[in-house]
Chains A and B, each alone.
Chain A
């Protein structure tokens, strides 16, 4: 008799999802699925709007990474205008992109994942949250809050508001920077840098504490995809696509983002609204790839800030003979390396005199009927593709979000964790949380506007082949 275990909703991720684990009559896991039940339809309802509005519209997709959508949308707009934006505008856009990484990565590690790590997967779910974290380590919690606030502060200083700022536009940005704002933000740097380093130190102890669990957290070979700078450095705003396999071999490089559709396809499954992007040359399923921090730190040749580069070398050593770091648990490590990088890089940019330039916007009419923008959002590579008429009215929109690109890998992770921990009908709190923590490695954003921080409401059902509930657990 086969059974299905349902975990719904998954919390402390962006949006709502459900996990079903399918067992055979002997209690062995035969399948596991990560379902996304939300449907937003942004691509469709943007049709008929003016290209100029897309920054404001698409930034509303998410309350956590609106800036990534804003910047990527502006880049697609630059492409339609066929302009090269002024140096100052590009550097200001780079700074706000780093701010997005800082606030999102800080939220992911300190607020969402740390309760699992510092309190333990088997701890009481009633206290495994921000309050539990505060009770366990006040200084750590306070630092996490401050670091996220620093990212938000940069966004607010540049864009006049913390979320959904319409500051970046096709051709550049709306407002220039000034020395008072620069000095204010520079004042945050020492504390932010120290906090990022403390987080990395804490993570090292977490690696030791969970040494037995870590090998089961999505440990499999896949490809890794992301943008890299022309010289191979870690990139976050521009660059070309690189594809690396699970053995560390670069199998495609310097791919112009305009050719992304030649390399990446999108499949659909009837049981989820989230698409399943894949690497076309290998086909659906075999073409599974991962994006985001784990991919970016794997594929880059180096990081051009000293402290983060030092950490990247430690990270690369984890690959050993495998050639690439394939364990999804190390998303956290890569995320914190990027956090440190973002603070260091922000400091470099803030000290760059070009940031104070007055030329911030190139103005032009519609010069191309199609534009593509790409940047590295906190969770991975984000693409916006717009097709417009001669007046800039959108005829077609395609958005490929980072979380979707990790969809196959997240399903694989759930499957691996279920095989390891599910034993017949016995479903403990610790097992449920390990499965959820496996998903949280990817820090998925399911087009929701905010994060869940409370107790994890779970509904687990074991259903036999006739649809009868034979075991149930509600929390």
Chain B
């Protein structure tokens, strides 16, 4: 059986920025056997959480896309530009690779468009709909109804969007 770890991250007090956390929480309820981690940001401890798994799925809100986007991630060899108060998923994978020698077999980033990152705990209607889409995509991955290859083919990358 494929061992998958889902990490949803973002600030749930900044409305749409919490989309990744919301998506991950829904998946945790639906797939109790899957390791689901939610956090405000990514930290070095998560390198251990994803070590040795077959697949890591990072779920984050994004202001650089208008559709749910999926990209394949590769481990970073150093701190990424923009890594500051929290790490990038590539940096987590890089630490995992360096420290444990067994990074996930594959790693994907699912980005959910964020339109309103103001103060508040409720999300915009547009982002809420796209949270549903992202959950559906990941659900199909977890149930084997689709493969990462198909997903990467069908879902746009931020560069295409």
Q: Which positions 61-88 of chain B face chain A at CB distance < 8 Å?
A: 77-80, 82-87
Task: State whether A11 touches B99 (Cβ < 8 A).
Answer: no
Q: Which positions 21-67 of chain B face chain A at CB distance < 8 Å?
A: 39-41, 43-45, 47-48
Q: Check A138 for interface membership: any CB of B closer than 8 A.
A: yes
Chain A residues with CB under 8 Å of B89's CB are none
A-B contact count (CB 8 A): 70
Q: Check B98 for interface membership: any CB of A closer than 8 A.
A: yes
Instruction: Identify the stretch in A260-268, A421-429, A443-451 within 8 Å (CB) of chain B at 4 or more residues.
Output: A443-451
Task: State whether B41 touches A450 (Cβ < 8 A).
Answer: yes
CA distance A85 to B20 in the complex (A): 38
Task: State whether B45 touches A452 (Cβ < 8 A).
Answer: no
- Interface-central residue, A127, A134, A146, by most chain B CB under 10 Å: A134
Task: State whether B85 touches A149 (Cβ < 8 A).
Answer: no
Q: Check B94 for interface membership: any CB of A closer than 8 A.
A: yes
Q: A60-B13, A135-B98 are in contact. Are A145 and B48 (CB under 8 A)?
A: yes
Q: Tell me, rounded to whole Å, the shortest Cβ–Cβ distance linking A185 to chain B.
A: 16
Q: Check B108 for interface membership: any CB of A closer than 8 A.
A: no
Q: Check B95 for interface membership: any CB of A closer than 8 A.
A: yes
Q: Check A453 for interface membership: any CB of B closer than 8 A.
A: yes
Task: State whether B99 touches A450 (Cβ < 8 A).
Answer: no
Q: Fill in one digit per residue for A159-172: 1 if any B CB lies within 8 Å of its CB, else 0.
A: 00011000000000
Q: Nearest residue in B to A125 (C-beta to C-beta)? A: B79
Give the size range of B's interface with the partner: 20 to 34
CA distance A60 to B11 in the complex (A): 11
Q: Tell me, rounded to whole Å, the shortest Cβ–Cβ distance linking A131 to chain B.
A: 5
Chain A residues with CB under 8 Å of B85's CB are 448-453
Task: State whether B40 touches A63 (Cβ < 8 A).
Answer: yes
Q: Nearest residue in A to B94 (C-beta to C-beta)? A: A131
Give the size range of A's interface with the partner: 20 to 34
Q: Check A126 for interface membership: any CB of B closer than 8 A.
A: yes
Chain B residues with CB under 8 Å of A163's CB are 39-40
CA distance A148 to B86 in the complex (A): 15
Chain A residues with CB under 8 Å of B94's CB are 131
Q: Check A129 for interface membership: any CB of B closer than 8 A.
A: yes
Chain A residues with CB under 8 Å of B39's CB are 162-163
Task: State whether B13 touches A145 (Cβ < 8 A).
Answer: no
Task: State whether B45 touches A148 (Cβ < 8 A).
Answer: yes
Chain B residues with CB under 8 Å of A453's CB are 44, 79, 83-87
Q: Tell me, rounded to whole Å, the shortest Cβ–Cβ distance linking B118 to chain A.
A: 15
Task: State whether A146 touches B48 (Cβ < 8 A).
Answer: yes
Q: Nearest residue in B to A111 (C-beta to C-beta)? A: B44
Q: Check A174 for interface membership: any CB of B closer than 8 A.
A: no
Q: Nearest residue in B to A139 (C-beta to C-beta)? A: B99
- Interface-central residue, A11, A141, A145, A452, by most chain B CB under 10 Å: A145
Chain B residues with CB under 8 Å of A451's CB are 85
Q: Fill in one digit per residue for A436-461: 1 if any B CB lies within 8 Å of its CB, else 0.
A: 00000000000011111111000000
Chain A residues with CB under 8 Å of B87's CB are 130, 453
CA distance A394 to B45 in the complex (A): 38
CB-contact partner of A134 in B13, B86, B98, under 8 A = B98
Chain A residues with CB under 8 Å of B99's CB are 134, 138, 141-142, 145
CB-contact partner of A145 in B44, B79, B86, under 8 A = B44
Chain A residues with CB under 8 Å of B43's CB are 450
CB-contact partner of A131 in B11, B78, B84, B100, under 8 A = B78
Chain B residues with CB under 8 Å of A138's CB are 98-99
Q: Check A152 for interface membership: any CB of B closer than 8 A.
A: yes
Task: State whether A450 touches B79 (Cβ < 8 A).
Answer: no
Task: State whether B45 touches A149 (Cβ < 8 A).
Answer: yes
CB-contact partner of B40 in A146, A152, A450, under 8 A = A450
Q: Which positions 9-67 of chain A face chain B at CB distance < 8 Å?
A: 11, 60, 63
Chain B residues with CB under 8 Å of A135's CB are 98
CA distance A171 to B45 in the complex (A): 33
Interface residues of B (CB under 8 A from A): 11, 13, 39-41, 43-45, 47-48, 77-80, 82-87, 91, 94-95, 98-100
Interface residues of A (CB under 8 A from B): 11, 60, 63, 111, 126-127, 129-131, 134-135, 138, 141-142, 145-146, 148-149, 152, 162-163, 448-455
- The 7 A-B pairs with the shortest beta carbon distances in the complex, nearest first, are A454-B83, A450-B85, A454-B79, A134-B98, A149-B45, A452-B84, A131-B78
**Given A142-B100, A453-B84, 9 further pairs, Cβ under 8 A:** A126-B78, A127-B78, A130-B95, A131-B78, A134-B98, A134-B99, A448-B85, A454-B80, A455-B79
